Structure 1
Amino acid sequence: MGASCDIDDYFSSLLSKTVPILFVLPRFRRHVEVLWRDAGLSIAPLRWYAHALLWPQEIEFGKELPGFSQGMIYPMNASSLIPPLALTVSEGMTVCDCASAPGGKTLVLWEQMKEKGFLLANDVSYDRLHRQKSLFRKVGISEVQFSCGPAGIIAKTFTNFFDAILVDAPCSSEKHVFSDQNKTKSWNAQKSTDLHKRQVSIIQSLLPVLFCRLKMSG
């Protein structure tokens, strides 16, 4: 999973509970630590990923933390770190994040690439992609490229090009369905079947844009 990720205990960490974490780009790490110490907040890195901090115990979950308004920290679930880390990208690679918005996974990919290489962030939603672009401008990342459209549009522009592609394909989210009685009543097997067909279609449309070594994660 890369030099900055310790695989030894991340599964037990995730299975115990949903861990709210804050992703911090390395360029902001020291500044964030100074801000938090000045505010009397504890600094506890996620055990299996050095660039993520646990939510400080001294402040209620959901309250704005020092560094958030400046774009220095990005709240996300710890489980969201796994797909971009599993892709094991590295410096100088050509990478595509196929369903990139709201942007957390793209940030992790860019960190793993040491902010060097070619990274394309694509999303089918213009509004979501616009918000992601605004986030990246706020944190001073201008090198990442953006495109808007279905996965198939990437194949029209790039052929045999990317070293790795992250596919966060749409899913039926049974975890949320079965925890909400209203959603449970409206769920049916056909929805999952239709989503499976859509997932397969997305993957098939992206195969031509991969470079000679096949590596997809999602």
Structure 2
Amino acid sequence: MKLPSSFLDNMKNLLSDEYESFLRTYDEERAYGLRANTLKISVEEFLKISPFNLSTINWSSDGFYYKENIRPAKSPLYNAGLYYIQEPSAMAPVEFLDVKRGHKVLDLCAAPGGKSIQIASKLQGEGILVTNDINSNRVKALVKNIEMYGVKNVLVVNDSPQRLSKNFEGYFDRILVDAPCSGEGMFRKDEGLIKSWEKDDISIYPNMQKEILESASKMLKVGGKLVYSTCTFNINENENIIENFLKENNNFKLLNIDKNYGISEGLGIKEVGRLWPHKLKGEGHFLALLQKTDGEVINHDLEKANNKPPQVYRDFEKENMNISLEGNFITINDNLYLAPKDLIKIKSLKVVRTGLLLGKIKKNRFEPSQAFAMVLKKEDFKRVINLTKDSTEVIKYLKGETIFVEGQKGLNLITVENFPIGFGKLNGSTLKNGYEKSWRWI
């Protein structure tokens, strides 16, 4: 790996006598990680059915290392949303955010969504998660991951931090700012980032990070906590950002990041955390935990709740389901959503998902969505076809092909090892494949 000389000079200045140890990590195998999705399965149950040889990531409550030669994205259990593939150090920011059930949480720079799913697993369906990304292309991956992993109590937004702050002033209990950065900590993971680093003007990032952090600070409740994180080593994007923010915002204080599991104190600021690849099994990350100590308490107007969905949906439930959903139903352009509880009025934001997309109202019928299938349990549906993770049928289903199986005629919930992956209509022994086209295996 050919590292830029100016990057190496900067790292030598930062690390001094640790520089050689740091440099040797680029000749070593990097760490690979995944997280069990506890919205769908407990860690204990996941370990029982996992086909992988896993070892614990110490700073993560549900994270595990796996070996490089394993391909976890090629298991149907991945398509059931039972685990998310994530670089081990990237699991740390949410762990330090201290998310509790019922919290209102914002993931401000969220795509592709790994940290949002981690937040959702801590909320366990209570409270609300607002997950946002300003990039319209990246937000597509965010939506897919939110839906695949069964997140219900969510607003997916595609807008700027400044515009969000006008809607959510003083609203959130917790905010994650996983800020855009120069990405130096990920050079070993993705050599393409080295070329981007050399080509791009990385001096743009501190101003961008400052503006994002300022917008985020306005949206935090008094007493609320905010984690600022990056995946770069650059002190101008890390400690200097926090130092300048605290100088300009005396209603915030810096909380200590516990220095366990190889996490180090910051450069000149001992309270912040640094994850160095020569001190732990992971790539480079920076963490700062801030708390808002003073400010105005804002009251937000709630959207009027609608507890009565269209009759065609209730007819669908009666014909196909063993449960009946309750909550706030919203119809937008014939799409039926189950919105989060206590949803506030939102003005002029690009909202991509207003809660769980249940499906589409088509004339006199209701057509369920892929997202709906992913939040169900097998016992919720009247007709279920269960496939094993090693069967040829499950691979064909994930590729969108017609399969031949035994079961009850009509709409079936398709599961793998009893975990839902989609819908299909059975006629005789022929299953018409209902797996989402954009998710299909190629």
Q: Specify the alignment match of 2:96 in structure 1.
A: 86
**C-alpha offsets along residues 62-97 of structure 1, whole Å, 9 cap, x if unaligned?**
452451122211101111111111211211111100
Q: Specify the alignment match of 1:53 in structure 2.
A: 64
Offset of 1:49 from its aligned partner?
2.2
**C-alpha offsets along residues 146-183 of structure 1, whole Å, 9 cap, x if unaligned?**
11111111112111111121011111123456967745
The answer to whether the Cα contact below 8 Å between 1:91 and 1:117 also exists between their aligned partners in 2 is yes
For 1:43 and 1:162, locate their aligned partners in 2 and report how far apart those are by CA, in whole Å: 35
1:35 lines up with 2:74 in the alignment: no
For 2:187 and 2:55, locate their aligned partners in 1 and report how far apart those are by CA, in whole Å: 32
Q: 1:204 to 1:111 in 2, by over 3 A?
A: same
The answer to whether the Cα contact below 8 Å between 1:99 and 1:167 also exists between their aligned partners in 2 is yes
Offset of 1:207 from its aligned partner?
2.1
Which structure has more relative contact order (CA 8 Å, sep 6+)? It is 1
Q: Is 102-111 or 24-33 further displaced after alignment?
A: 24-33
Question: Which amino acid in structure 2 is aligned with residue 158 of structure 1?
Answer: F
1:21 lines up with 2:30 in the alignment: no
Highest CA radius of gyration, 1 or 2? 2
Question: Which amino acid in structure 1 is aligned with residue 57 of structure 2?
Answer: L
Q: 1:211 to 1:31 in 2, by over 3 A?
A: same
**C-alpha offsets along residues 86-117 of structure 1, whole Å, 9 cap, x if unaligned?**
21121111110001111111111122233321
The answer to whether the Cα contact below 8 Å between 1:24 and 1:72 also exists between their aligned partners in 2 is yes
Greater helix percent: which structure?
A: 1
TM-score, length of structure 2 as denominator length:
0.40
1:72 lines up with 2:82 in the alignment: yes
1:162 lines up with 2:175 in the alignment: no
In structure 1, stretches of 5+ residues that fail to align are 1-14
The answer to whether the Cα contact below 8 Å between 2:102 and 2:123 also exists between their aligned partners in 1 is yes
Q: Specify the alignment match of 2:146 in structure 1.
A: 136
**C-alpha offsets along residues 28-70 of structure 1, whole Å, 9 cap, x if unaligned?**
245543433xx4x434332332311221x4x824452451122
Greater strand percent: which structure?
A: 2
Q: Specify the alignment match of 1:107 in structure 2.
A: 117
Question: Which amino acid in structure 2 is aligned with residue 54 of structure 1?
Answer: Y
The answer to whether the Cα contact below 8 Å between 1:125 and 1:148 also exists between their aligned partners in 2 is yes
The answer to whether the Cα contact below 8 Å between 1:177 and 1:183 also exists between their aligned partners in 2 is no
Question: Helix, strand or coil for the counterpart of 2:170?
Answer: coil
1:95 lines up with 2:105 in the alignment: yes
1:119 lines up with 2:129 in the alignment: yes
- How many residue pairs get aligned? The number is 196
Q: Specify the alignment match of 1:3 in structure 2.
A: none
Q: 1:176 to 1:118 in 2, by over 3 A?
A: closer
Question: Which amino acid in structure 2 is aligned with residue 35 of structure 1?
Answer: I
Question: Helix, strand or coil for the counterpart of 2:33?
Answer: strand
Question: Helix, strand or coil for the counterpart of 2:117?
Answer: helix
Question: Helix, strand or coil for the counterpart of 2:181?
Answer: coil
Q: 1:185 to 1:42 in 2, by over 3 A?
A: closer
TM-score, length of structure 1 as denominator length:
0.77
The answer to whether the Cα contact below 8 Å between 2:31 and 2:87 also exists between their aligned partners in 1 is yes
Question: Helix, strand or coil for the counterpart of 2:111?
Answer: coil
The answer to whether the Cα contact below 8 Å between 1:23 and 1:75 also exists between their aligned partners in 2 is yes
Q: Specify the alignment match of 1:186 in structure 2.
A: 199
The answer to whether the Cα contact below 8 Å between 1:98 and 1:151 also exists between their aligned partners in 2 is yes
The answer to whether the Cα contact below 8 Å between 1:160 and 1:210 also exists between their aligned partners in 2 is yes
Q: Specify the alignment match of 1:10 in structure 2.
A: none
The answer to whether the Cα contact below 8 Å between 2:59 and 2:95 also exists between their aligned partners in 1 is no
Offset of 1:215 from its aligned partner?
2.4
Offset of 1:141 from its aligned partner?
1.8
In structure 2, stretches of 5+ residues that fail to align are 1-24, 229-442
